[in-house]
Structure 1
Amino acid sequence: MAAGDERDAAEVLRALARHLNCLNEDHKSTRKRALESIRRETFEKALAHRLGGKEILEPAEELRLSMLEVLTLTVEVCGIRLAPYLDDIVKILQRTIVDPFPDVKRESCKCTVNFSRCVPAHFHMQADGLVKPLMQTISHQHSRVRVAAIEATGAVIQYGSGKNVDDVLSHLAQRLFDDWPQVRKSVTTVVGGWLLHLSDRYSYFHKLIPLLLSSLTEEILEIRLLAEDLWRQTGAQWEKENEEDLKDKLDFLITPPAHYPAGVERPGLGCRELVVRNLSKVLPAVSRDMGDWLVGTRVKTAQLLRVLLLHAEDHSTQHLQPLLATMYHASTDAEPDVVKNCLESAELLGCFVSPGASLKLLLAHVENSSSCSSSSAPLMVLAAVLRGSLRSALRPHLLQVGHALAHPDVCQGSQQPLYLEQLLGCVQALLSVCEEDCGTVSLQLLQILVTVQSQSTEPGLQDKVEETMRTLCLVQGLGGVTELYRQHMTQLMEWLSQTQLSWTSYSKQRPQLEVIAIQSGPVIGEFLPLLMPLLQGSVRPSQDPEMRLHFFTLLSKLLLDASNTLDSQGKFCDHLEVFLQELLLPNLVWQAGRTAAAIRTSALTCLLALLQGGAITPKQLLSVEVQLTPQVLAALDEDSQMSRLLACRTLSALLRLLGPELHPDTLNTIYPELLKRMDDSSQEVRAVSVSALGRWFSCLGESYNLQTCRSHLEFLFQQLLLHLDDPDSSMQDRILGAPPCIIQTAVVPALGAGPTSLSYVLKAGSAVHPELLQHEVEAVRDKQRSPLYCDQLLQHLQSLSRDSA
């Protein structure tokens, strides 16, 4: 500040001090002269001229601040006597509120508050002119300036004409998101004051109430308590002002509803009525703001919706349609806090609204939404409404809900993880609320759980389904999941059978059957007459190839553990002929094409599982061996390595089960095909074929005439000795030394070896016809790369001769 400016300011202040003292004199004329002197010294000489023009003429910030301080002091001292200078003061404040200097802004706002309160009868005539500069300042970067601007806005609206409320509300609403708590507190104080004291407040209730209620969810306790107190005062005041209108409700509706959210204090009657009477005007804005691009706005709006419903209680029923539409939108929001508050609001709907009213709309939306991109939203809201419902109120509607959720259009409406999770959430909600009452919809709930599990690939969701299934068992007093399946297996099979003729690899019923068959464990063995037709119709050669592949995979899993699945009751034998003749053998018949080859591979897997899983006895196997063996032998020539490997293993299992019961002609048909596989391109196939030949020797019983079949043994020995000279040492070891466990124990004593050191494939042959083998070994010994293996075999043969002697 220049020295001359300082002198001018000091002179003005000294003059003012004298005149201000005169305002305390008893004589009216003295006070009048003092006031006129103050006007001349301030408004005429300094303030109005320097600050109130179109442009501020005073360049010094400190001097402008001093001038404003003088003006504030003058207002505080003179009060209503400054009414004649209303125009001048407002012009000054219009300029200084938007002054570049923050301290001048704050002082201007302070002066505005004081002046509005001093001249309320006159202030309204010029108050409108201060709204625009205040709105320019309300978002200033300094938090203290924002606080001052909010307080000044409160005073200007309070003592103004009442026409500018709409002009400031959006600005105040934005300040509810301010990072500075004091700013948010100021907004709460101002809005609460308007609700209590604004002359035309009834016209603006629907706009002011949401702002104050938004502060009820403030994270700062001080602000939250302030908002609660102001809202309580507002409700009590309105209740008193409308006491006659509320007479009946005051007398009869004091008791809270029987089903009220735990741990929540019920708002007073006046507060509830204010919300109820303004809800229809508030909801459109809530719905609009729920789609705002700012996350903070959406979170605040979702919190506000919950507060509104807590006040509206059962009056929410008449607004169900817009409420549900808003919740559907909010439940799919990317922000978790929006979703959380939305679902809490939906729970309040369940708490206050009759299920008869809410479910009528909700279930219709659920049934019609499965094809929509937001199809999970109605299910999510439905689950929340169910969680909030009263058990006794929900009980009469259980069948309606169960049938709606289990309907194919809903239950199988989408494979999206979120959709399945919400479908599961509805089941969980029913079980948590209705408990043992859910026995009436046990079948429908099980169908839903089976469907969710069959369509889900998420491990976490699978775990939730299993837990929910255990809960369904628990509420019904069932011993476990197998008991649950036993209770409903007939209906489940009928449920699947209804659409079986149209099944393809894409049908939802296929994985449903897989889940039922595997999860039911031994129970599935009790319902084979219902299961076999489903399987039979699904693996016919005319059916979809991919579907047949899936079902053969399922059958393989079941057959490998047959005693705990298909044969749990020992009844699978009754269906064995149908299984082999109509399910398995037709799919082993050779057909051209890669798809047909893949199906044959799957069928071989299934056959091997049948032989290894114990679902077929040797006697039963012998009765169909004539039909099975040619198909298995044909598979040894498949292009697929896996098919050849499975065929070798199947022959090995067949030899193990039937042993000496096999006809010599059959045995003599098998070994040449196995010998061919010893030249296979796959080392694994070669190894398994050697193992199978070891089993072949163990099958030579009394019916196998050594003289008649001498030429077969001779050829077999020659081929094995040829491979004994294989460049691959591992192959030599396998031929001379087969793995333990491939030869039956009955052969062991003849070989003179213990069970832990079962002898070799060729040594196994030596137990059958040692003289012939010795002759063949001696014939090739000198022709091989190394006589080592032949010498070991000859030593073994000599030991056999000594033992027999």
Structure 2
Amino acid sequence: MRVTKYTRHNFVFVVLSYCVTVKYTNRYSCLFECVPCEEQKSSYKVYRWYDLRFEAVSFSMTCDELFCNQDHALGSGTRYEYAPSHFSPLDSKRAQRDRHPPNAGRAAVNLTLVQRQTRKICDVEIVLEDLLDLGACLESSGSIAWTTQSIHSAFTNLSQRQTMDRLTYTKVKGSSIMQHELNRRTRAKMALQKMRSNARWHHSQLEVKASTSWLEWFESQGALFHRCPNLSLKPMLESIREEEEHWRAQLRSSALLLMSDTSKPIRLNALKKTVNTLPPLLSSKQDVHVSDTVEELTSHFQDVLARTSINDPVDTCREYALSILICLVDYRGQRSQKNNQRTTFLVSSILPLIASKIVNNRFEEREEVKLFIVQLLHKSIPQTHEDIIKTNITQLLSIVRAGAIDSFDDIKKETCTLSISIMRSLNPGNTFDSPSSIQQISHESRAVAVSLCRCLGSNLTNKKTAVRQTTLECFRTLISCAGSRSLVQDGARAEDSWNFLPALEAMGQDGVVKNREVLVHVLTQWMTWSPVEIFDRRDFREKVFYILLMLCHDALPSVREISRKSLQKMGDLFLAEEHSTLPEISQKSPDSAIRELLGDRVDVLTELNSGVSALIDSHVTHLLARCMDEAQDWTQEKRWRGIAVLSSCVFYAHPNFVGLLDERFLLQLSIARETTEEPSKKMIDAACAYIGCVVDGSNYVPLLLAMIEGRRQSQMRDHLMSTGDVSRLVRLLHHLLIGFNQMKLKQHARTIMKVLESSLDTVAYLSSRSGEFGENSSLIMNLLLSTISACKNNKMSGKNVGELERSLKELSLTEEGKKDMTNLLKDLTSDKIFEKLDLSPLDARHTSYVLESIHSVLTYTEDSDVITSQEVQLIGPLKKVTDKKSEHVHRKGGLLIVGRIVDISSRNFEENSSKLCVTLLQEVLRPILIWSGGRNAAELRREGVDVMVKIFLAAEKSEKFQMILRECLVVDGTIDGTFVRLLESLMDDDDPQVRLRAISSLSSLFSLTHNIPLSTDTRHHLTQSLSKRFNDQDETVRISAVHLLAPLDTHSPHDDNLQLCRSLVLHLDDTRDGVQKAVYHVLSEMMAEGRVREAVRSDLEDAMKSHRNPGRYVEPLLKKTQEK
């Protein structure tokens, strides 16, 4: 071993060099910086020790910079030599050569590049890579990476450059300069590559033991210095501890400047080297050193890394910065679990940056970087104190909302995991696995869970299976935390009407078995933990109940089993909540035929209880309406779902309830059977057979199925006639035909026609014997109406249909027939039918059928006493169906009924029928004519004006009706201005037919209200609208407008009318001969008055000069003006 002491001013540097013979010969160097002791000048204390055991060249570079770089020369010094026995003594010449180490030349070149060529980007990259490689090696051993002030100053020089981000070589005359520069760069890179390879080799050969820190290693090497009289190990260690923080601060400041440098390559290389060296460092088993390093990085670099990860313009820099942060968070998370500590690390730094970009709609565009951001938040939130989470909850929710709607599936899944982390951080220690833990959740946490549910709810219907499954698993916790009451009530607000139940219902039809199983577990857990919230709202309970009934018929036995248990639990909770009781169930064992029909789904008949029956009884209206609507849907999935739930209602209902099922329900069930596939047919057959098994005396169920299929109707008819049960047969046929009227399935038209043809004989037979049925005669008349309507709706005609129509007309003329018609209208116009319009497609179809039935009754009614009966209330239903909120088909049906009422009244106008027509005109027709929205509005206005014209024309034939109508139209001695304004607005309608009918209505109005003036304001607006119609594009409208001028002037003479006459002179030259002729006749008629002749004379004289053919109409009119 050799010890050499160099003296430079007041510093003493001792260099220890030794050679060890192993498989390879290596050179190691240790540098000690020493200062003289004040107490004893002959002794020295170690000021700093640098372990450069991984890189001999690094020592040479440092040594060269300190002692022999530039113009400085080594001062005089004392040399101490120590040689072990296996080393040969060194002579003075060799010692003199060792004052300049053999690698000094190469190291001097490298350092000169740092100091003198800092503006060269290639040199910057070379030195940066060298320093980072060296720092990684030294940091992994626990030593100080940057050993001298010269390296630190070079580092700072690189970081503080303001310009020259790129080196641009310009073309220079003579290529020798360029070639020299390239050669120099090549040599420097080769040298550095050799340095890095040596460093990696030494690192693998001299790896410190797992349980040994760098201080322990240093103490183990104390034997090397044992025989050095001027060196002491203890003061050396104390000096290291005192000065270590100073050098670490320099390292931090230099690294911060590099990571935030304006040059893209410098930032990129600094982050890249950190990403490459950090994972091995964190995986090292030197816990003390690694923990210190991580603490330094997180405490001093987190703000810079956070800004870089969000705002750096380079995608790769953002990705590297996020990778560094994720590594640090993972390591801190492992330590925080051991220490059970939570900090404010990172969340407060990075959240404002992300939230500000989301607010400005500039969130990260690169998918990988977005995924890193969400992963970073997910991993850092568990380490963050709950107070910090509560402070930044708004920003976290905005990030979750942005991640939930992102197009990248992995981000959607990671967002769900982030949501669970947020909830667990807000409720530390809560496992969310029991009702007691759910009850401990605070109100603020429930509000956060509601917001998270709204953000993630759309992903329940995502196309990707993994996204749906992850979201549903997330909902398993969030829904329990939020509570159904909060979700449904907040979701029902006008400003935020989203509701999660439709999405959960769609999951019930998910093609993945796992998702359906999780859905059942979610609902079961929810009912068990929050029973009060489940039954707090009726509409909410209905939807959950429907989902469970649907899952009871799932194809997977495990899902069916769990669903039935959940359904039973829900029934028990319902009974406990409502305190309702039902009689004991006397369940009959299903026979083998039913079991054979059900097949592998025979288990649906087990575990019936009174709670489920009570639920069905409570929600029967909603369930049946929805089931029948879906059972008739055009999609196979919805038909099967509707039939399955419908069958569940039968299987799980109480026998008393099944016995109350009317024929309409059974007919709907049977109609659904004819319009579905074979498995659904078996399910319906089993349900009908089960009804026959449970309910006594229900032998009509198999007869019903036979009638639907069109078989053995004559035998069934004879059987019912012989038993006297005619009413049941009539009701069955009637509801069957109602179902066919409501069905609009073209693919099953052939089946419907077949059943209708087979039913016509039975209906004709019953109608021919209607006199024998007494009180059932009204039912037969209703059956006839249903049959005729079904035939017409299905475009079925023929001799049998004509015979039915004649039979119906004959019945309606009898006194009994009039009473039956009145009773039918009374039933059809009852408030119960129209109180729930347009609540569902099934209600809409039923309303259309009722309107068609009313129109059919009126079609075969000739007596006005039927419509004016006090028992029949037509105005209320017609006002509802013609309201602006109603559907177009309902408004159109209402107009047809109004037109038919006018036709019946016009045959014999009496006081009651006249008042009815006037009321219809004011309360039914006027709203339709005023309403102008939608694409079908013109059609409705056209038909409404037609009915109005029909009313005016009918009034001309009846003086009594004319008097009643005049009383309605005259207000305070003048014609009702609002009614005239309505017709005036119709004169400007886009539809020419509406304009034409409006002018006709005004003409009829003037004739009805003769000698009753118009108000000044009304007359002024009317003349302006009329002058526009003189120039209408439609010839017929122009002619009608010209003819309206004469009754207007006769009815209400005024100077405004004279102005209209003058404008008519211009239309004597109209392009259409019909318009010219109409103008000629109107002016000829009006010239009987002298004021008109004087007003148009000058205009006619001008027309003689300007018109193309003045001799035809202008010249005769001009001669009339000269007559006295």
TM-score by length of 2: 0.33
- Which one scores higher on RCO, CA 8 angstroms, separation ≥ 6? 1
TM-score by length of 1: 0.45
